Structure 1
Amino acid sequence: MRIIVYGSLRRKQGNSHWMTNAQWLGDHELDGYALYDLGHYPAAIPGEGKIYCEVYRINSSIMAELDELKSNTKDYRRELISTPYGSAWIYLYIRSLEGMERIEGGDWVKRAEEEK
């Protein structure tokens, strides 16, 4: 199975240790989604724009760990989408984003550069 990640699970980010045993397949620009800054992690929702992601091959135990990580907040739902590497799971935000700042460039890693 595959997962597509766009924020703190990406390489060299705060939660990348969760992906230690995953196989990186490549980067992907995902069209039709918007990215928002929630502080320590982002939120992706369907919308205008594109977001920069990484696609990984994972096993069921990594998926279970990620489901547990995401279900602790009850803010995300997992959805299957199409990527150049095959279908992959993505976690989409399900709460209101009113008052949250959109990351216009769609790249969590480069968000600080946008603020300048």
Structure 2
Amino acid sequence: MRIIVYGSLRRKQGNSHWMTNGQWLGDHLIDGYELYSLGHYPGVVPGEGQVYCEVYRIDASTLGELDALRETGGEYKRELLQTPYGSAWLYVYQRSVSGRKRIVSGDWLQREAGE
């Protein structure tokens, strides 16, 4: 199975250790979503933009760990999207982004660059 990551799970980010057993397949831009800063991590919601992501192949155990990390408290819900690497899961933020800072570039690594 595959997963799309866009924030703290990306390479060289604070939670990238969760992807240690995953196989990086490549980078990808997803259309129809917007990226918001939730503080130390981001959230993606449906919208008018693009979001820069990385796609990984992972095993069921890693997906279970990520579900426990991301779906606890109802903050995120997984959606299946098509990528150049095949279908992949994306964690979509489920709460309001009202008052949150939108990362217009769509790239979490560029969040401080004049956003």
Q: In structure 2, what is the equivalent of residue 31 of structure 1? A: 31
Task: For residue 39 of structure 1, give the secondary structure of its aligned residue in structure 2.
Answer: coil
Deviations 1:45-89 (A, max 9, x none): 111010000000000000000000012342000010100000000
Q: Distance in 1 between matches of 2:18 and 2:47?
A: 27
Tell me the percent identity: 66
Gaps of 5+ in 1: none
Partner of 1:110: 110
Match of 1:48 in 2: 48
Return the offset for 1:37. Answer: 0.4
The runs of at least 4 consecutive aligned structure 1 residues that moved more than 6 Å come to none
Deviation at 1:112, TM superposition (A): 1.1
Aligned residues of 1:32 and 1:49 also touching (Cα < 8 A): yes
Instruction: Say how many residue pairs are matched.
Output: 115
Correspondence list, 1:66-85, <5 A: 66-85=66-85
Unpaired runs of at least 5, structure 2:
none
Structure 2 equivalent of residue 96 of structure 1: 96
Using structure 2 for the length normalisation, give the TM-score.
Answer: 0.97
